[in-house]
Every structure is written in C-alpha cells, then in structure tokens.
Amino acid sequence: MRISSKTDYVQANLFLLEIEKHTTIDDLNLVDNQNHHIFAEEKSKTCARFKRNFPERLAYKLSAQLMSRYKLGLPKNKNITINLNMFCCEDYWLKRVRAASSRAIEQVRRMTGLINKAKGIYCSDNARDNWMWHKEQSQAYLESTYIENEDGQTFSLADIAKTNVSNPTIRRCEMMTRIRGFEEVAKFNGDLGDFYTITTPSKMHSHSTTGIKNSKYNNTTSKQANDYLCNVWARIRAKLEREQIKIYGIRVSEPHHDATPHWHLLLFTAPKHRERTREIIQHYAMFEDGNEPGAEEHRYKCIPIDPAKGDAAGYIAKYVAKNIDGEFIKTDSYGNEAKSSAQRITAWANLNGIRQFQFIGGPSVTLWRQLRRAEAQENQELEACRKVADASDWAAYVLLMGGINKTRLERPIQLEYQQPENDIDYETGEINLCTGRYGAPLSTPIIGFKVRNIIVPIKRKLWLLKPSPPDDDCSLARDERENNLHQVVTLDLCK
C-alpha cells in the first residue's frame, strides 16, 4: 500500500515480484518453515538414490547439481565421498535451508525499509533477538556441562570459555595486542602505515540514513555485497603479489546503518612501495561504477598514519571494540549506544556468515596461543618464542618466527598434530579409519611443537565430558577450580 500510494500499483506488484525472487527458489519456499523438514527429507533421499544407483562420481555430480539448483552452496571439502555423504543427510540439507531462510527473511526486511538508522540499525530487531536467544541457549549448555581430567580436576565449559577468545574481552585484548605488535614491527623495519576504507557501489546500498529508499538499489544482499568486497580484495592481493609488494596488518568488515558492509584496513608496507600500494587499492576499489556521483568521497579513503596525531593501534581500536563488545567507546558512528550496537553488528555478521576480522601477513595465532599455555622448554629457540608469547609481545614473536609474509613451512616453529588412529581387523587385515559423521577424519589434536624437524611433545591431559554437575564430594571448590584453570593445556573432549 505504501509503494502504491507513492507510485502506482504496477510498481507495487513489481516490488512484490522482487520479494518473491528472494523468498522462493524453484519449488523451495524459504519462508515456509513448516515444510523445510519435508523438503530436506525429500532431497536427502533423492541424493541417497543417486548414491545407490550410480557410480560415486556421477552420483556426486547429480547431488551437487541438485543443491546448486536451490542456491544452497556446496561443501568446501574436496573429497567427493565425504561431500556425497553430506548430500545424503537430512540434517545437512535442513541446516542449509534454515540459513538461507534466515538470510532471505532478513533481506526482505531490508528491502522494505526495516533495516536502517531510522528503523532498526545494522540488522532487524528479530535478527538481534534470535541471535541473543541462541547465545543464551549456548551459555546454558556450557554452564550445565562439565569436563574432568584424570587428576580429578573438574570445570564447567562456561569456566573454560571465560579463559579463551570465546570471551569478548579476551578476544578484543588479543586483537589489540597483535595490532600493536604489527605497529612495532613496522617501526623496526622502517615500514609506513595507512588506514584505508573501501565501500561498495551505490547500487548495493538500500536506504539513506533518513530511511528513504535508494533509487539505485538493485536488491543486493549483505552477503553478496561482502562477497563483492572479497573479490575486490582478491584482485588487490593478486596485483600486489605480481609486483612483489608485501603488506601486513588487519582488515575489519562492518555494516553501514542499512546492513551494507564496508571494510577498514590498517596496512603497513615499505616506504618505496607506499604510493604504488595506494594506487593499486584505489584502482580496484573504484573499478566498478567509479565515476558515479559521490564515489570519490565515499568509495575509497586513505589516511596516512601520522605518529604526531596518534599511533596506528589508535586508528583501528574503536572499530575493533565497536565490532566485538563496544567497550571503552560511548557511541557508534551514528550516535547509538556502543554496547547495544555491538550486539546488532555481531548478529549481522553471524546471520550473513561474514568474517569480521582478518589479520594479514603474520605468523600463526594458534601456535601463539599454544605457546602461551606451554610450560618452560629445554629447546632454546622454542623457549624464546614461548617467553615472548607469554609476555604478550607479538612483535618479538613475529620477528622470532621469521618476520612477516612467510609461509607456514618457512617458519622455524610449527604445530605437530596427531595422526588419526585406525582400527585394524586382524582377521582380514582391513584398516578402518576413525571418521566422523560424514566419513571425514576426526579432528586431530595438537601433540607438540615442530622445531626445525625436531618434535617437542606437549604435556596433555585426557578430559572426559560430563553432562551433569559434579558431586560436591568429588569436585574441587569453585575458587580452587578457577585457580587451576591456567593448568589447562589442551582439551580432548571424549564422550
């Protein structure tokens, strides 16, 4: 009615057709939640018939075509046996359909003007409430589930979560430590930093801050807009690689008020490559619709890091905080309370499957975290890295690990993973691989550090999952359990 009153019924009907395009794929109605189970069951059985009646490769091809027909995406795994098992699973189909349904419904809200500064900023109220509900359910599970090791130490999973990057405070602090470390590496190397902002073309923005619909908007979804930025960045990285220009830093993806993503990048490079790096990033950022009105002002920005005005970490700090928990900042870019905005931004990223942060050019953070948990080592090279990691000195860690922009195999220290154990049928000699639900090998735990082909084992404890609280008689007091949390090195959750 609102559209027809402003234009005519023809435009209103055309708009309804656009909504139908986003909520219906072939015979799949994404908003009809009651039939999603039936749909998933039918398609998984169809794939199972393919598997029974055709050679594996042909069955996989037919199943992949079926899933592509509904635009549900394909598994990233390259093993066709594992992927075919996924296609034959009703739960796998249902999970994909539900994700597509949530995004389709959110896109309709965006198209109808419910997601913008004037209505619901960053995401709809429904999306935020749904994300908070799932978070509460996860927290309830963590609090009611316990793990116990062979020494009798018992902790709830909620206690464990408080001590790692699942805790937003720890996540934010670790990120700022790494950013500060990159800045110190840049000073050591004599590199210079720039703060970039890259935004999508106007046609991907749905509404103005006043709630007025953008006449150029082509109904691009938030996910599609972020994929566009990923493609832009891939071209930038490829061009820099061809010209042998090395960069390092961090990338932050965050939404505009109408849920359209844009990127902030804090990048360091050698002085001789600084101008060329700017030219390359600007060229690809402005490549599509670069001549449209307002493009020069909004599509690409580059701010040189000026030590007189503040350090590099200061330039990016508010964007990191705003996208995690809103701590230490009062309001976001639109004047809204920061902590509330952080919830909506996180819900937006979770719903659309968007990676908010990505570090570029540094060594493994997983190895860094393992070193921080490890005890003192006899190997001098390993002990040096352990000490700087324990002291939260990311810059020293980067330098000891060979510097920036090295491949994993070029680093002096790597993680060693346990190979999956196999069951052997001694009568037939057949080896049965220990695999998960779809036939993929079970996740391999970290068993040590590999220091220039020398394996240094990690002291590990076996932990058993307990779905109920421990008895008071056999469990440690809560205060004592918390004091012992630092002793947890690697958790093997064995049912």
Left (φ > 0), alpha (ψ -120 to 50) or beta: where does 459 sit? beta
pLDDT of residue 18: 79
In a domain, 7, yes or no: yes
In a domain, 180, yes or no: yes
Helix (H) or strand (E) holding 305: none
In a domain, 64, yes or no: yes
- Can you tell me whether residue 72 is helix, strand or coil? coil
In a domain, 394, yes or no: no
The mean pLDDT of 451-461, rounded to a whole number, is 87
The answer to whether the predicted template modeling score (pTM) of the entire model surpasses 0.85 is yes
Statement to judge: residues 323 and 214 lie in one domain: yes
pLDDT of residue 430: 57
Nearest CA-CA partner of 237 in 225, 224, 248, 226:
248
Statement to judge: residues 204 and 297 lie in one domain: yes
pLDDT band at 485 (very low <50, low <70, confident <90, very high): very low
The mean pLDDT of 446-457, rounded to a whole number, is 91
CA pair distance 56, 76, nearest whole angstrom: 18
Catalytic, out of 196, 300, 315, 397: 315
Nearest CA-CA partner of 111 in 206, 17, 21:
206
Statement to judge: residues 176 and 283 lie in one domain: yes
In a domain, 256, yes or no: yes
Statement to judge: residues 348 and 226 lie in one domain: yes
39 neighbors 67 (Cβ within 8 angstroms): no
Q: What is the 3-state secondary structure (H, E, C) of 335-379?
A: CCEHHHHHHHHHHHHHHHCCCCEEEECCCCHHHHHHHHHCCCCCC
pLDDT of residue 433: 57
The mean pLDDT of 114-128, rounded to a whole number, is 93
The mean pLDDT of 307-319, rounded to a whole number, is 83
Single-letter residue type at 416 = E
- Picking from 360, 392, 417, the residue at the C-terminal end of a domain is 360
- Picking from 344, 360, 376, the residue at the C-terminal end of a domain is 360
Judged against a pLDDT cut of 60, whether residue 205 lies above it is answered with: yes
Range of the domain at 340: 168-360
pLDDT of residue 436: 75
Statement to judge: residues 207 and 295 lie in one domain: yes
Q: Which of 114-128, 298-312, 425-439 is least confident?
A: 425-439
CATH code: domain of residue 313 = 3.30.70
CA pair distance 475, 391, nearest whole angstrom: 32
Catalytic, out of 70, 92, 146, 319: 319
Statement to judge: residues 175 and 66 lie in one domain: no
Q: What is the largest CA-CA distance in the chain?
A: 79
Burial class (CB in 10 A: 0-12, 13-18, 19+), 127: buried
Statement to judge: residues 98 and 204 lie in one domain: no
Burial class (CB in 10 A: 0-12, 13-18, 19+), 477: exposed
- Picking from 338, 360, 382, the residue at the C-terminal end of a domain is 360
Mean pLDDT of the residues in the chain: 87
Q: Give strand pairing partners of 415.
A: 449
- Can you tell me whether residue 28 is helix, strand or coil? strand
pLDDT of residue 193: 95
315 noted as active-site residue: yes
In a domain, 153, yes or no: no
Question: What domain count does the chain have?
Answer: 2
pLDDT of residue 495: 28
pLDDT tens digits for 354-397? 999 999 999 999 999 999 999 999 999 999 999 999 999 999 99
Statement to judge: residues 107 and 172 lie in one domain: no
Statement to judge: residues 89 and 199 lie in one domain: no
The dihedral built from the CA positions of residue 369, 372, 374 and 379, taken in this order, carries a sign that is positive
Left (φ > 0), alpha (ψ -120 to 50) or beta: where does 294 sit? left
CA pair distance 150, 120, nearest whole angstrom: 50
In a domain, 185, yes or no: yes
In a domain, 126, yes or no: no
pLDDT tens digits for 251-271? 999 999 999 999 999 999 999
Statement to judge: residues 179 and 88 lie in one domain: no
- Can you tell me whether residue 436 is helix, strand or coil? coil
Statement to judge: residues 226 and 330 lie in one domain: yes
Statement to judge: residues 95 and 10 lie in one domain: yes
**HSE, side-chain direction, 13 A CA sphere, residue 437:** 7
Burial class (CB in 10 A: 0-12, 13-18, 19+), 425: exposed
pLDDT of residue 279: 97
Residue 365 sits at the vertex; the CA angle it makes with 364 and 369, to the nearest 5 degrees, is: 125
CA pair distance 88, 291, nearest whole angstrom: 48
pLDDT band at 423 (very low <50, low <70, confident <90, very high): low
120 neighbors 114 (Cβ within 8 angstroms): yes
pLDDT of residue 483: 45
Q: How many CB atoms lie within 10 A of CB 367?
A: 21
The mean pLDDT of 133-152, rounded to a whole number, is 91
319 noted as active-site residue: yes
CA pair distance 301, 285, nearest whole angstrom: 10
The mean pLDDT of 36-55, rounded to a whole number, is 96
